Amino acid sequence: MKAWQANIRTVTPYVPGEQPKGGNLIKLNTNENPYPPSPLVKKAIDEMDYDTFRKYPDPSSTVLTKALCEYYQMEEDEIFVGVGSDDVIAMSFLTFFNSEKPVLFPDVSYSFYQVWAELFHIPFETPVLNEHFLIRKEDYYKENGGIIFPNPNAPTGVFMPLSEVEDIIAHNQESVVIVDEAYIDFGGESAAGLIKKYENLLVVQTFSKSRSMAGMRIGFAMGNKELIRALNDVKYSYNSYTMNMPAQVLGAEAVKDDCYFRQTVEKIITTREKAKERLSELGFVFPDSMTNFIFASHKEKKAEDIYLALREKQIFVRYFKQPRLDNYLRITIGTDEEMEKLYDFLEKFL
Amino acid sequence: MKAWQANIRTVTPYVPGEQPKGGNLIKLNTNENPYPPSPLVKKAIDEMDYDTFRKYPDPSSTVLTKALCEYYQMEEDEIFVGVGSDDVIAMSFLTFFNSEKPVLFPDVSYSFYQVWAELFHIPFETPVLNEHFLIRKEDYYKENGGIIFPNPNAPTGVFMPLSEVEDIIAHNQESVVIVDEAYIDFGGESAAGLIKKYENLLVVQTFSKSRSMAGMRIGFAMGNKELIRALNDVKYSYNSYTMNMPAQVLGAEAVKDDCYFRQTVEKIITTREKAKERLSELGFVFPDSMTNFIFASHKEKKAEDIYLALREKQIFVRYFKQPRLDNYLRITIGTDEEMEKLYDFLEKFL
């Protein structure tokens, strides 16, 4: 090994889900929204003046932050925006998790948590979900350097009632508790209402799922202004200009169109509820989902076999080849038309 | 102090240059390009399909990386792209500077280097520029945990001949040496040609100045594939999807239009050379600039007074209120028309 190589940070990088390309495929593997963003987004991109690209974007993303404040009834200094919720959460690990004590997150959860902890050399422990894939709140009533969990959880789709979320926060007022609500808009109840009550609570959401803007990379955190100031201080010490101009302008337009947002979410929820019926009829079992995906296991057929058979027909779902999860498929809720094609194939195959 | 506050990372954040707003002002304070991006960028934004925003962007930014490879005659695994060169360099600090020995960078230089070192708890030393604002290469012939310097340097504008850059690299083959070439396209000679010779060399450039894309946030690093792999591993451990779809697509278009790029840079260089004459006539002295700005001090008038007087006339230049720099103005090269207005005012004022 050469000398300069010895000082390279060694990490086990996260592997993103595959992004198959082609016209005729059905993509139910990365929890994207099957519907386009709001027509206001279309209008704004159609009217965008390319000459403005030569200037630095607003470092504080005011137009986007203001739109979010108005929508969520927060103050401007209670919201932080970043390049997807991944950026927001990574920045939060760097900002808040600087204790010698272990950070806690569920063993079956968003796999990036462990990657971030390792990247920043943060100690961590992963309490085990129970046999129904539920978080046991009592596992989080112990000394820790911080807590993070998704609600609803991923890839299980399970929503934890807000009263239990509050129990975890209330038992941990000496730590920053992050509730990662990437999927909250699909039927769950957000913890954002608890921010006024608990100053150690940070709630993170994203535009990638319910707002159809995965390609634009927009995430945000809501919390008391001291947490947000600390996040901004670290952000301004990393990169002053993280949000490019189109993300700011188009993101703000997406937030403004509440009517379209509600309609789209409603359509996905309706399709999901129907999917629960159809998948049950087809012999699948799954924890009840409050997200835009269903985490399903078949009573007879092995998940990997179904995954591969679907793949051959250009229908992509997510399969995790890892302990406890390797007999499940994570199936994103697509359009009704896409889901019918899925059921048609499964009926023949199973 | 509450318990959760004790674990917050404390930093002194970077303060970005002011972004004044309004129609009639002349903005010569943040080294932006006075000309719009390539017409190919305009065409691509006009044709952009907003429906594609609902999908995650390509995590490896293939279309942008390929365009850069073709332009700079590199292989795809020798190029890394990020959210502005700030993101690329911050990621490089995190990836490469993990030694107990101090990282070296000039005392007068891009002020973010110190901010990143403090953010990531990296020890550093800052060798002093000589009285002509030149880097003394011998200052970098000592034990270190890595080296970074801009060439041309900022905010001085001074270009170091490539032979001296090579001397520094050759003397430090046990460290990663980063040459930050944000301003290289305005007349300097890039160190990119040395990458095949020195495996420890990383060259960083940006779309924010010469390619008129500050608002899009695009930077990139070129280096041997082992360095680029290490950077990508850390990037994929931080955020798989840093570059949003518009940045990838519009960035690629900007690179393809070499003719427009050369014309724009040539115009700025011509305006800059004329600015050197005019500013000299007006009683300014400055190190010879190879960038899109001039770092000038007046023989009689105090820099701060000139700065404030200009500001009152809605002409914005950058003033650094810090030791050694506080009698200088950093004046971005604008259009000929903008520069004439600057000279006209200065003639009257001085």
| Residue range A162-174, pLDDT digits in tens | 999 999 999 999 9
Q: Is B331 helix (H, G, I), strand (E, B) or coil?
A: strand
> For a pLDDT cut of 90, what percent of chain A falls above it?
93
> Residue B18: pLDDT above 80?
no
Identity of the residue in A19, A32, A145 whose CB atom sits nearest the CB atom of B54 = A32
Query: pLDDT at position A23, please?
Result: 75
Question: pLDDT digits over A300-322, tens only?
Answer: 999 999 999 999 999 999 999 98
* Residue B315 contacts residue B28 (beta carbons within 8 Å): yes
For B:311-340, CB contacts with A below 8 A are none
Q: How confident is the model at residue B87 (pLDDT cuts 50, 70, 90)?
A: very high
Query: pLDDT at position A99, please?
Result: 95
Task: Give the Cα separation of A343 and B142 in Å (integer).
Answer: 67
Give B279-288 contacts, CB < 8 A, sequence gap 24+. B279/B331, B282/B343, B282/B346, B282/B347, B282/B350, B283/B350, B286/B157, B287/B132, B287/B133, B287/B156, B287/B157, B287/B158, B288/B157, B288/B158
Which residue does chain B place closest to A240, by CA atoms? B16
* CA triple B289-B86-B76, angle to 5 deg: 100
> Residue A4: pLDDT above 90?
no
Query: pLDDT at position B170, please?
Result: 97
The four Cα atoms A15, A17, A21, A27 give a dihedral, to 10 degrees, of 180
- Which of B161, B96, B169 is closest to B134 using CA atoms? B161
- Which of B189, B105, B152, B150 is closest to B293 using CA atoms? B152
User: For A84-98, A266-280, B11-25, B306-320, which range has the lowest pLDDT when averaged over its residues?
Assistant: B11-25
Task: Give the Cα separation of A211 and B324 in Å (integer).
Answer: 50
Task: Give the Cα separation of B149 and B30 in Å (integer).
Answer: 19
For B:143-162, CB contacts with A below 8 A are 145-146
Which residue does chain A place closest to B214, by CA atoms? A56
Angle between helices A225-238 and A84-96 (to 10 degrees): 100
Q: How confident is the model at residue B231 (pLDDT cuts 50, 70, 90)?
A: very high
Which residue does chain A place closest to B46, by CA atoms? A46
Mean pLDDT of B323-329: 95
Mean pLDDT of B259-272: 98
Query: pLDDT at position B26, please?
Result: 96
Contacts of B90 in chain A (CB under 8 A): 238-239
Task: Give the Cα separation of B251 and B85 in Å (integer).
Answer: 14
Burial class (CB in 10 A: 0-12, 13-18, 19+), A283: middle
A16 to B59: CB separation less than 8 angstroms, yes or no: yes
Cα within 13 Å of Cα(B77), Cβ side: 7
Contacts of B240 in chain A (CB under 8 A): 14, 16, 86
* Residue B180 contacts residue B165 (beta carbons within 8 Å): no
Task: Give the Cα separation of A107 and A233 in Å (integer).
Answer: 31
Mean pLDDT of B96-120: 96
Measure A329 CA to nearest chain B CA, in Å: 20
CA pseudo-torsion sign A32, A35, A38, A43: positive
Query: pLDDT at position A14, please?
Result: 77
Measured CA distances, B255 to A163, A318, B204, B260, B266 (Å): 53, 35, 16, 10, 16
Which residue does chain A place closest to B241, by CA atoms? A217
Identity of the residue in B32, B56, B215 whose CB atom sits nearest the CB atom of A215 = B56
| Residue B103 neighbours by CB under 8 Å, 6+ apart | B93, B97, B117, B122, B123, B124, B125, B144, B145, B146, B147, B148
For A:164-223, CB contacts with B below 8 A are 173-176, 199-200, 208, 212-217
- The residue among A13 and A250 whose pLDDT is bigger is A250
Mean pLDDT of B81-103: 97
> Residue B3: pLDDT above 90?
no
Query: pLDDT at position A347, please?
Result: 97
Mean pLDDT of A340-347: 97
> For a pLDDT cut of 70, what percent of chain A falls above it?
100
> Residue A18: pLDDT above 90?
no
Question: pLDDT digits over B187-208, tens only?
Answer: 999 999 999 999 999 999 999 9
- Please, what are the domains in chain A? 15-37+259-349 (3.90.1150.10), 49-257 (3.40.640.10)
B233 to A13: CB separation less than 8 angstroms, yes or no: yes
Measure A28 CA to nearest chain B CA, in Å: 11
Q: Does A253 touch chain B (CB under 8 A)?
A: no
> Residue B16: pLDDT above 80?
no
Measure A12 CA to nearest chain B CA, in Å: 7
> Residue A22: pLDDT above 80?
no
Q: Does A250 touch chain B (CB under 8 A)?
A: yes
Contacts of B119 in chain A (CB under 8 A): 94, 234, 237-238
> Residue B22: pLDDT above 80?
no
Which residue does chain B place closest to A92, by CA atoms? B8
Measure A324 CA to nearest chain B CA, in Å: 23
> Residue B14: pLDDT above 80?
no
Contacts of A170 in chain B (CB under 8 A): none
Task: Give the Cα separation of A156 and A330 in Å (integer).
Answer: 8
Backbone angles phi, psi at B75, to 5 degrees: -85, 160
> Residue A16: pLDDT above 80?
no
- The residue among B35 and A5 whose pLDDT is bigger is B35
> For a pLDDT cut of 90, what percent of chain B falls above it?
93
Question: pLDDT digits over B132-160, tens only?
Answer: 999 999 999 999 999 999 999 999 999 99
Contacts of A54 in chain B (CB under 8 A): 32-37, 212-215
B30 to A56: CB separation less than 8 angstroms, yes or no: yes
- Amino acid type, A103: V
> Residue A201: pLDDT above 80?
yes
Query: pLDDT at position B1, please?
Result: 78
- Which of A272, A289, A27, A263 is closest to A158 using CA atoms? A289
Q: Does B11 touch chain A (CB under 8 A)?
A: yes
Written as six digits, the tokens of B347 are 């003639």
Written as six digits, the tokens of B92 are 């490089």
Q: How confident is the model at residue A177 (pLDDT cuts 50, 70, 90)?
A: very high
Mean pLDDT of B182-191: 98
| Residue A245 neighbours by CB under 8 Å, 6+ apart | A52, A53, A57, B215, B216
For A:66-105, CB contacts with B below 8 A are 83-84, 86-87, 90, 94-99
Measure A50 CA to nearest chain B CA, in Å: 6
Burial class (CB in 10 A: 0-12, 13-18, 19+), A22: exposed
Which residue does chain A place closest to B9, by CA atoms? A95
Read off the DSSP letter of residue A113.
H
Q: How confident is the model at residue B343 (pLDDT cuts 50, 70, 90)?
A: very high
Q: Does A61 touch chain B (CB under 8 A)?
A: no
A239 to B87: CB separation less than 8 angstroms, yes or no: yes
| Residue A98 neighbours by CB under 8 Å, 6+ apart | A122, A145, B7, B8, B9
| Residue A106 neighbours by CB under 8 Å, 6+ apart | A126, A127, A128, A129, A135, A149, A153
* Residue B186 contacts residue B180 (beta carbons within 8 Å): no
> Residue B24: pLDDT above 90?
no
Question: pLDDT digits over A36-61, tens only?
Answer: 999 999 999 999 999 999 999 999 99
Q: B62-85 burial by CB neighbour count: b if 16+ within 10 A, else e?
A: ebbbebbbeebebeeebbbbbbbb
Strand partners, B180: B150, B204
B53 to A250: CB separation less than 8 angstroms, yes or no: yes
Mean pLDDT of A319-335: 95
> Residue B225: pLDDT above 80?
yes
- The residue among A12 and A330 whose pLDDT is bigger is A330
> Residue B23: pLDDT above 80?
no
Burial class (CB in 10 A: 0-12, 13-18, 19+), B196: exposed
Contacts of A208 in chain B (CB under 8 A): 56
Give one DSSP letter per residue of B122-185, joined into a string. --EE-PPP-TTS---GGGGSS--S-EEEESS-TTT-PPPPHHHHHHHHHTTTTS-EEEE-TTGG
Question: How many other C-beta atoms are found inside a 10 Å radius of the C-beta of residue A216?
Answer: 29
| H or E element at residue A309 | helix A303-312
* Residue B79 contacts residue B221 (beta carbons within 8 Å): yes
> Residue A13: pLDDT above 80?
no
